[in-house]
């Protein structure tokens, strides 16, 4: 159902069973796929693609120009993945030419009220952002990560798969997969054991990750030494390999 007060540009494309609430504005070059619900007073700017079965609540603003002094009005995009929930007053900004040209929110993400996703950010599947989570530009977040309320993440930081960032944290370095981090500035506080168990990780995998975590972060050797020791002493399960590869590819440095 399209409410009579909604304003939809003739160049916008809406799939079957899309609902648009009162006073929402959908501009040109927007594509909204089947089954998505757009609440009242939502603004969707040009060059936004929204997947199937999303729900965008009132006063969200999707696809505004990035807050970057380098941006010169070039075409860039926002992509919202299937099944994503976007709550009140969330803002998601377009990408920039120098940052890849797209901001992408993955499938089945949950963005609680006042979350901000800045230009050129990429999130994986089933990421949860609690109220007022704030991402600067060029951030990459892995699958099944959880970002607590009032968390501020510095530009170019990466957050690994299944990581949990506690509320009111300031994150300035990469956070590895499978861990808990919190604080100002954020520090590691062990494996995200509860979250991993909820996602069906076996006890054997948890034990391997725990051993790798201890070698890398708790015995006081360099990261390079720790990586070589983990390779020699810990079974190279996919999760252990993922942890090592994440650390080796870090450019900002690793939260410890």
Per-residue pLDDT tens over the stretch 63-103: 999 999 999 999 999 999 999 999 999 999 999 999 999 99
Tell whether omega for the bond before 185 is within 30 degrees of 0, i.e. cis: yes
Residue positions counted in the chain = 256
Q: How far apart are CA 243 and CA 183, in angstroms?
A: 22
Share of the chain above pLDDT 70, in %: 100
Which residues in the chain land under pLDDT 50?
A: none
What one-character-per-residue DSSP string does 72-101 give? -S---EEEE-TT-EE-TT-EEE---GGGTS
For residue 224, what is the DSSP state? H
pLDDT of residue 174: 98
Structural domains of the chain in order of their starting residue, each with its CATH number: 7-138 (2.160.10.10), 196-248 (1.20.1180.10)
Q: Which residues are catalytic?
A: 119-120, 137
- In order of 9, 37, 60, the CA distances from 12 in angstroms are 5, 15, 18
pLDDT of residue 197: 97
Could you tell me which of 194, 204, 200 has the C-alpha nearest to residue 237?
Answer: 204
Q: How far apart are CA 171 and CA 178, in angstroms?
A: 16
Q: Reduce the DSSP state of residue 245 to 3 states and report it.
A: helix
Residue pair 93/112 in contact (Cβ under 8 Å)? The answer is: no
């Amino acid at each position: 159902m399209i409410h009579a007060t909604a304003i939809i540009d003739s160049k916008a494309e809406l799939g079957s069973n899309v609902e648009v609430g009162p006073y929402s504005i959908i501009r040109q070059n927007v594509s909204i796929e089947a089954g998505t619900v757009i609440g009242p007073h939502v603004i969707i700017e040009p060059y936004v693609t929204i997947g199937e079965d999303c729900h965008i609540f009132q006063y969200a603003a999707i696809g505004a120009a990035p807050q970057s002094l380098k941006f010169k009005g070039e075409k860039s995009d926002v992509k919202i993945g299937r099944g994503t929930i976007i709550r009140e007053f969330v803002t998601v900004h377009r990408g920039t030419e120098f940052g890849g040209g797209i901001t992408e929110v993955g499938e089945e993400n949950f963005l609680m009220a006042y979350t901000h996703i800045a230009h050129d950010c990429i999130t994986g599947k089933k990421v949860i952002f609690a109220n007022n989570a704030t991402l600067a530009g060029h951030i990459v977040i892995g699958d099944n990560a959880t970002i607590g309320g009032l968390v501020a993440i510095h530009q170019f930081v990466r957050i690994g798969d299944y990581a949990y960032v506690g509320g009111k944290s300031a994150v300035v370095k990469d956070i590895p997969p499978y861990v808990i981090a919190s604080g100002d500035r954020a520090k590691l506080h062990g494996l995200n054991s509860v979250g991993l168990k909820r996602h069906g990780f076996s006890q054997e995998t948890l034990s391997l990750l725990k051993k790798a975590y201890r070698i890398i972060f708790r015995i006081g050797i360099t990261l390079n030494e720790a990586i070589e020791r983990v390779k020699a002493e810990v079974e190279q399960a996919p999760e252990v390999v993922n942890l090592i590869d994440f650390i080796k590819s870090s450019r900002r440095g690793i939260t410890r």
